[in-house]
Amino acid sequence: MRAIFFTILLFLSVFFISSVNAEECTGDVQQRIICYENNISKLKDSGKTLVSQISQFDAQIKLTSLKIEKTEEQISLLSGRIDQLQGSLESLTKAFSERAVETYKMAKVNDPFLLIISSDNLNEAFSRFSYLKKIQDGDINLLNRLQKAHDTYEGEKVDQEDLQKQLETQQKNLAGQKAAKAQLLTITKNDEKKYQALLNQAMAEKVAIERALVSGTKVGPVKTGDPIALVGNSGYPNCSTGKHLHFEVRKDNSWVDPASYMQNKSMQDDEKGGTANIGSGSWQWPIQDPIRLTQHYGHTPYSWVYKYSGGIHTGLDMVSSTSDIIRAPADGNLYRSSQSCGSSTINIVYIEHGSGIISFYLHVQ
């Protein structure tokens, strides 16, 4: 009886944790943005269930859509101001050009020396000189207004370009969020057990890496370009979905984007489509061209499974159509390890490069 009681209690606790109601969002765009941000924060703490994950995606999609709406409004308002500024700038430029010509003519005629010798008295010369001075002061004032209008116009143009880039990023984020939700529903088929199994597999892969760091066998030093392993599918079916190389880098035991270490290279981007230039560092790529990048670092259509990393894919997934050889991207000491991953065995090699930097190569043969 006691066991049944605790089972029911556990079920109820899970149910209530996973069914936190999100607040209904109303008001203007900014108020709804704040509301959905709060909803996402609540949902992240509401339990690792399929229902909560779907709710998170729905809230994120609505939030990003609202941000796009707000950015489009800002761009529209800014475009109107820029058009007005351009009209004012053109009018001021024309007015200044006309006045500058007239002032120049007047200045030639009203030379101080000529004023004195051509005037009947000093008062008349002084009046004519004072009038010229006022005209010139007015021209300076107009010039300052012209410069200010020009600076404002240029500043607004920069703001418009920044907003346009921001809009493009938001649109890409929205497409990625919709793709991630679609991927979630396709893979899980709305089955909570399947979802939990995927979370457990992802966690098992993380644990396998941690164990490899502790118990890995040192092979010895390697140089850039030395062969270190072969691309494989070890860990299948629990911790691998097909033959590929999962390549990740840690700095002081924290995940970092491997692309920041790699040489810039053009490759096929299976995740986002088309080709992409990836890399901003000096390391060589671990597999041979042509490379197909199947999953990026960070938030991807499949990264919802990595709850332990805050929902980011911790490395780069890639394949080569010409060779399975994996080569050291930089000098270091090579280690090998085989670890259980669910009911499967995953093979891992990693290189300690010094300065707290370690590169990992998963699913190798």
Amino acid 339: pLDDT: 96
CB 353 within 8 A of CB 365: no
Beta carbons within 8 Å of 212's beta carbon, 6+ residues apart: 335, 337, 339, 348, 350
Both tokens of 250, joined, read 């840690």
pLDDT digits (tens, 9 = 90+) for 139-176: 667 667 666 766 776 777 778 888 889 999 999 899 98
Q: At what angle do helices 50-109 and 122-188 cross, to 10 degrees?
A: 160
Q: Where are the beta strands (DSSP E) in 203-356?
A: 217-222, 227-230, 245-251, 254-256, 265-269, 275-278, 291-295, 316-320, 325-327, 332-341, 344-354
Residue 360 parent element (H or E): strand 357-362
Amino acid 114: pLDDT: 52
- Coil, helix or strand for 19? coil
Distance CA 287, CA 327 (A): 6
Beta carbons within 8 Å of 222's beta carbon, 6+ residues apart: 228, 328, 331, 332, 333, 334, 351
Distance CA 22, CA 36 (A): 9
Amino acid 358: pLDDT: 98
Q: Domain spans of the chain?
A: 1-190, 193-362
Mean pLDDT, consecutive 10-residue stretches, the chain (365 aa), reads: 39 41 79 88 77 90 92 83 67 63 53 52 56 63 67 74 89 91 91 92 94 96 98 93 96 96 97 94 97 96 91 96 97 97 94 98 98
Distance CA 168, CA 228 (A): 40
- CA–centroid distance for 260 within its chain: 14
Please give the single-letter amino acid code of residue 23. Answer: E
- CA 266, 270, 271, 272 dihedral sign is positive
Task: Note the CATH number of domain 1-190.
Answer: 1.10.287.1490
